Chains A and B, each alone.
Chain A
Amino acid sequence: MSKEILIVEDDADMQLFYKEMLKKEDYNITFASSGKEGLRRVQDKKYNLIILDIIMEEPTGDRLFAMIRKNPNSKDVPVIFSTVFKKDSYACTKALGNVSFLEKPFRREELLNEIKKNLQN
C-alpha cells in the first residue's frame, strides 16, 4: 500500500514542485493550502508523513506542528519542516521538538532522501 504524505504548503508554485518531484514515486500525496486545512486533514485521516511549511497565515507551521502533536491521529507521525530558513535560524528554533528540516530550495534527491529517511523510522 502506498504511503500517505500530507504536504501543508500555501504557495502554489511550491505545490507544483512537489508534484513534479514526486510524480514518479509511489506515494499518495495530499496537499493542504493553509494551516487550517492541514489541521482538518490530520484530524480526518492518519498520514505516514507530514511536510510542513513554516511561514503561512495563522496557524503558522510551527503552531500547526504543536497541534499535530496534540492530535491523537498524528502525534507520532514524522514531520519535515520545509522552509527557506536555515535549520538553526530564529524561525526554526521556535518550532518544537526534534524534527527534520528541508531547506528551500531543495533538489529532488534531497526531498526523496528526507522522505525515505523519515518513513523508515
Chain B
Amino acid sequence: MLSSLQDNLGVYNGYSWGSAYVRVANQEKVVEYEDPLFQERFGNNVGQPCYRFWRRRSPCKGCVSEKALISKRPESKEETAKDGRVYLMTSVPVCLNGQWSTIETIKDVTEAKVGLDILQIIASSLDIRRVYNLISLELKKVIEFDRMSMTVLDEMGEGTVETFVLTKGYRHTELKEGTHYPLSGSLLEKLMHTRAPVLVDDTLTPVVETDRILLREGIRSRFSFPLEYKGQIIGSLNFGSKRPGSFKESHARLLNHIAPQLAIAVENTRLFRKIKDSEERYRTLVDSFPHLFFTRKKEGAFSLLSPSVKTITGYRPQEFYARSTLMDSLIYPEDAGRVKAELAVVWDGSSPSSRNLEYRISHKEGRTVWLSQDSYPVRDPRGKIVCLECLCRDITEAKKIEEIKDNLMRDVTHELKTPLAKMEMTLQLFGRVLTEGRETDGEKRRQIYHTLFNNLYRLKRSVQNILDLSSLESGHVKLKKEEVVLREVLTSAIREIEEEAGQKALKLLVSLPKEIPPLLGDREKLFHAVMNLLDNSIKYTDKGAVTISARVLSGQVEVTVSDTGRGMEKALLNRVFERFVQESPAFVGSGIGLSLCKKILEGHGGKIWAESEGKNKGAIFHFTLPVAASKEKN
C-alpha cells in the first residue's frame, strides 16, 4: 500500500509543492520516498534514516514525525540544518492498512526567516549601528558578501552622498563612516534614475564609474538596493563580494521586504540625530548664555533655569527648583510690587509681553544686582497661558555708569548753577540796597564785592574744569609737551588764590626750593591741576593756614599742599580722586576738581595721594611729577 502512496505521489513528480520538498518515512523513520527535486538538491536518501538529511546520527530532538504519529495530527517545526539554512518541516500522519507513515514537506524558509528576523531587529532598536550590525549578520546567512555599506543622500549639500554605516572590511579603502563623496557617477545616482536594484556581475566589465575603484580594492561583484522613503530614494544598501556573480535576483526579493523598514529606521535615526543635535545646540546655548533665562509657571515653579543663574544670583539652579519663592525673596521690597504688577498684566493676557522690566535683587554675597527682564507668555493649544518665558540681563554695570553719569551731571549742574545763583542773589541784594537808598556801610559793600568776586572766580574755574575734563575725556586734545617751570606755575596759582584765602583770613605759607628742574608737560593744564588742589584746600579750611611746599627728589619733584581744614576719614582718602569710578561719590558736591587734578597729573606720569588724620584734623595732598631728563652739557 505504501508503494501505492508512493505511486500516487509519483504522479506529482515535477510538481512544485509550493517550493517545498516532499518525502515519506515509515514508522521506523526510514525514508521510503523522496520527490525528484529533493533528490536533485540533497541526493538520494531512500532507505536511510530520515535524520540523515539533517546530518545527524540519532533521531532529532522533538522529531515532528514522531509527534505527528502520536497526536495523529499534522505537526510542524522549524529546523536549522548544518548548512545554516532554516527549513520548515511539516509532518502529516497517514494510516494505510494499519501501517502508519508520515508524509513530510520540507520547505526552505531561510530567506523568509531572515527577512522576518530583520524586521524584528529594525523594530527593536533606535540605535542604527546596532540594527545594522545585526542585519548584516542575518543577511550573511542568505547573501554571500564580503562587505556591506549603507549610503544616504546628504541632506545638507545637494549632490553629495554620506556613508552612513559600514561593516568592517573597509580597512584598505578610504571610505569611513561619515565620509562624503560626490553623488555624480556613484551607484546611488544610477539607482535614483532606475529606482531599481543595480547588479554588477563583474567589475572587470564596469557598469558604473565607481566599479573601477572597487575592482582595485578586489571587489568583483556588486549589488545595490534602493532605500525608498515616502516615494523618495534616500539612499542605498550596498554589497560587495570578492567573487564575481555573487548576487542574484532572489536577493532582491528578500531586500524588497526589509528595505522599506530599513529606510524608516534610517530616517528615524537621522531625525533623532537632528533632534539631538539641535537639543545639544540649544543646551550649549543655554549653558553658555551669559544672561539668565527661565520659564516659570503661574504658581511660581521653575520649569527651566539657565546655569547662569549661579553667576547672577549666587544661588544654584537646584536651589530655585527646590524652592521657587527664593527668587521672589531676592527682589528688593521696593521693587517687588512693581514687578508683580507688571507681570500680572502679561499673565492675564492684557499685555502681549513685558519688556525691559528693571528691578534689583540681592546677590547671595549681599551686593545689589540690577536686572532687566523681558517676559513672554507661553500658551497651551487652547490658548491658555501656562507659563512665562523670561530673559534677564544683568545691567548692574550699566546702572552704575548711569548713576556715575547722573552724579557727574548733578555735580556739574551744582558747580555751575551755585555761583551763578549766588551772584544773582548778591545782585538782588545790591539792588535792594540801591532802591532803599540807604547809605550802605563799607562792610556790606565789601561783602557784596567779595561774594561777586569769589563766585565769578569759582564759576570761571568750574567752566575751565568742565572744558578740561571734556577735552581730556574725549581724547581729542592731547597734553602738550613743552618745557614747564614748575616754580612759576606754583607761584602764579598761589597768586590767583591769595585773595580768596585772605577773605577767609587763611594764611598761605609757601616754601619752595630756589631751583626746581624743568618738566616736560602742558603748562596750562598743570596750572589748572595746582589751582584745583589749592582751591580744594581753601574751600574746606575755615581757619588756620594752607601750606605749599616742594622738594626735589631724584628724577622727580614732590609738591605738598597741607591745610588745617576739615580733613577726612581714612576711608575717603583714595575716593576723593575717584569721582567717576565710584558708585557713590566720596561726598556730594566734592566736585570734579580733584578728579581732574588726578587725571592731569597722571597724564604727566605723576602721582597724587592724600593723607589725613581724620575729620577736622586737616588734610595733606602730595603729588609728584617727573622732571625732564637733564640736558647733556657740552
Contact = CB atoms under 8 A, between A and B. Distances in A.
A13 B447 CA distance: 9
Nearest to A84: B417
Interface stretch (B303-311, B345-353, B355-363, B424-432): B424-432
A72 to B, nearest CB: 25
Interface in A35-57: 54-57
A36 to B, nearest CB: 10
A114 to B, nearest CB: 15
Nearest to B418: A84
B451 interface: yes
A105 B428 contact: yes
Contacts of B426: 13, 17
B589 interface: yes
Contact of A16 (B413, B414, B428, B451): B451
B455 A84 contact: no
Nearest to B417: A84
A119 interface: no
Interface in A1-28: 11, 13-14, 16-17, 20
Contacts of A104: 417-418, 421-422, 425
B177 interface: no
Interface residues of A, number: 22
Contacts of A108: 428, 432
A60 B588 CA distance: 7
A85 B426 CA distance: 19
Interface in B434-453: 447, 451
A58 interface: yes
A56 B424 contact: no
Interface string A60-101: 100000000000000000000000110001110000000000
Interface residues of B, number: 24
B409 interface: yes
A107 interface: yes
Interface in B581-630: 587-589
A57 B455 CA distance: 20
Interface string B242-280: 000000000000000000000000000000000000000
Given A55-B414, A90-B406, A104-B418, A17 B588 contact: no
A41 B554 CA distance: 53
A57 B567 CA distance: 12
A107 B425 CA distance: 7
Contacts, number: 64
B410 interface: yes
Contacts of A60: 587-588
Nearest to A18: B425
A14 B589 CA distance: 16
B560 to A, nearest CB: 24
B429 A20 contact: yes
Contact of B422 (A14, A20, A57, A85): A14
B119 to A, nearest CB: 76
A84 B414 contact: yes
Contacts of A90: 406, 409-410
B425 A105 contact: yes
A85 B407 CA distance: 13
B421 A84 contact: yes
Contacts of B429: 17, 20
Contact of A11 (B406, B422, B447, B587): B422
B589 A105 contact: no
A16 B454 CA distance: 14
Contacts of B418: 11, 84, 104
Q: Which has the most chain B C-beta neighbours within 10 Å: A16, A106, A108?
A: A16
A13 B500 CA distance: 13
B425 A17 contact: yes
Contacts of B417: 84-85, 104
Contact of A13 (B409, B455, B566, B589): B455
A13 B410 contact: no
B615 to A, nearest CB: 10
Contact of A105 (B410, B413, B421): B421
Contacts of B589: 55-57
B588 A56 contact: yes
Contacts of A17: 422, 425-426, 429
A14 B454 CA distance: 13
A91 B410 contact: yes
A57 B421 contact: no
Contacts of B406: 90
A13 B588 contact: no
A57 B615 CA distance: 12
Q: Which has the most chain A C-beta neighbours within 10 Å: B409, B421, B566?
A: B421
Q: Which has the most chain A C-beta neighbours within 10 Å: B410, B417, B425?
A: B425
A91 B412 CA distance: 12
B5 to A, nearest CB: 115
B586 to A, nearest CB: 9
A46 to B, nearest CB: 28
A84 B409 CA distance: 13
Interface of A: 11, 13-14, 16-17, 20, 54-58, 60, 84-85, 89-91, 104-108
Given A56-B588, A84-B418, A89-B413, 11 more contacts: A11-B418, A11-B422, A13-B455, A16-B447, A16-B451, A58-B587, A84-B421, A85-B410, A89-B410, A90-B409, A105-B424
18 contacts: A13-B422, A13-B425, A13-B426, A13-B455, A14-B425, A17-B422, A54-B588, A55-B410, A55-B589, A56-B588, A57-B588, A84-B413, A91-B410, A104-B425, A105-B424, A105-B425, A107-B428, A108-B428
Shortest Cβ-Cβ A-B pairs, 8 listed: A84-B417, A105-B421, A104-B421, A105-B424, A55-B589, A105-B425, A57-B587, A60-B588
